[in-house]
């Protein structure tokens, strides 16, 4: 008979089994037996969802530690759907289909969220194509893995490929930016607050809680440094502007800003309407007239904008 562990202990057990596993058929040989032997994890998550995770600050350490432990398992599993770029951790042993991943998630009480338009709340950028139209908004091209929710609380963003103009995201930034609040990614450098701690201490890392509630996206609700209450000219200790901090917090990586060095965004929080689009970013990001990439400010209409091609002459773009 299997030992009954705490939810936290059961997650640590599965994490180690994933590290030790070699071979094929991961779901049948490791995940499904663990679900049957440790049902308390799914019971706890379903009870949390039924009670409605509280979107106000102040979740217990135990709750945040349990969620982080489960998110670390999730990060290992997601490597099955990521391109290989040399940053993975035991990635070759993660033999998992999308159907098996969904079966595991749903057995734990997590649900899939569908979002037809790109949203940094729901979507993590994996693949990127630069649009020839500078102010073209981000458009979804492919979903590599689904977005998972626990009631109104985000558990894991979907991994997506997008196309966007330079006013919304820059290819050179997206391709090399590290991802924050992530234990591991196969395709890019990942940072979270467990890194650098001992094998026991790192499991006391707290899960970041984001919510979609009351017509708002609420990011990192357990932290008190509210970016939506700062002035536009506020600059933090890393030299980041308010706009750059919102960019880093909402996307969990830089998509426009060319910043080197490791940042510390973990104390920031932010709330905005759920029709949030990063439009305020693009006026500063668009090239000035004469630089060969279109107008510097938002054009009055999208059809007019579409005549601006990378490399086109500004005056010719006004004709027709």
Question: Which residues touch 77 (CB under 8 Å, ≥6 apart)?
Answer: 18, 94, 96, 101, 104
What is the three-class DSSP state of 202? helix
Rounded CA-CA distance 164/145 in Å is: 20
Cα–Cα distance list, 178 to 138, 187, 252, 280 (Å): 20, 10, 9, 23
In the predicted model, is pLDDT for residue 301 greater than 90? no
Cα–Cα distance list, 281 to 13, 15, 161, 199, 233 (Å)? 44, 39, 20, 40, 14
Would you say residue 65 has pLDDT above 80?
yes
| Residue 184 pLDDT grade (very low, low, confident, very high; cuts 50, 70, 90) | very high
Give the start-to-end residue ranges of the domains of the chain: 7-283
pLDDT at 2: 54
Residue 41 CB contacts under 8 Å (≥ 6 apart), including other chains: 7, 10, 11, 70, 108
Strand, coil or helix: 249:
helix
- Report the candidate in 110, 90, 273 with the shortest Cα–Cα distance to residue 185: 90
Q: Which two tokens stand for residue 120?
A: 């940094």
Of 64-78, 104-118, 249-263, minimum mean pLDDT range = 249-263
Yes or no: say if 145 and 186 are a contact pair by the CB < 8 Å rule: no
CA dihedral 212, 216, 220, 221 (to 10 degrees): -100
pLDDT score, position 277:
61
Residue 228 is predicted with a pLDDT of 86
Residue with tokens 């966007």, as numbered in its chain: 164
């Amino acid at each position: 008979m299997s030992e009954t562990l705490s939810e936290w202990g059961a997650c640590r057990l599965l994490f180690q089994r994933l590290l030790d596993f070699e071979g094929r058929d991961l779901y049948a040989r490791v995940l499904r037996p663990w679900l049957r032997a440790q049902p308390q994890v799914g019971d706890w998550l379903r009870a949390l969802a039924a009670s409605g995770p509280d979107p106000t600050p102040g979740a217990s350490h135990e709750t945040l530690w349990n969620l982080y432990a489960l998110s670390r398992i999730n990060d290992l599993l997601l490597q099955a759907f990521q391109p290989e770029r040399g940053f993975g951790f035991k990635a070759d042993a993660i033999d998992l289909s999308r159907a098996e991943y969904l079966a595991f998630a749903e057995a734990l009480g997590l649900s899939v969220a569908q979002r037809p338009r790109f949203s940094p709340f729901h979507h993590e950028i994996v693949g990127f194509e630069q649009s020839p139209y500078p102010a073209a908004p981000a458009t979804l091209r492919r979903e590599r893995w689904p977005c998972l929710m626990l009631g109104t609380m985000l558990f894991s963003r979907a991994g997506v490929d997008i196309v966007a103009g330079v006013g919304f995201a820059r290819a050179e930034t997206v391709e090399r930016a590290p991802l924050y609040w992530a234990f591991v990614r196969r395709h890019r450098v990942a940072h979270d607050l467990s890194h650098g701690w001992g094998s026991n201490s790192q499991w006391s890392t707290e899960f970041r809680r984001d919510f979609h509630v009351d017509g708002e996206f609420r990011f990192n609700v357990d932290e008190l440094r509210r970016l939506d209450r700062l002035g536009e000219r506020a600059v933090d200790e890393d030299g980041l502007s308010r706009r750059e901090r919102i960019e880093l917090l909402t996307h969990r990586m830089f998509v426009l800003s060319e910043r080197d060095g490791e940042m510390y965004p973990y104390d920031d929080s932010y709330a905005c309407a759920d029709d949030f689009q990063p439009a305020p970013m693009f006026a500063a990001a668009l090239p000035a007239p004469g630089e060969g990439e279109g107008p510097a400010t938002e054009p009055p209409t999208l059809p007019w904008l579409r005549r601006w091609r990378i490399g086109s002459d500004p005056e010719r773009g006004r004709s027709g």
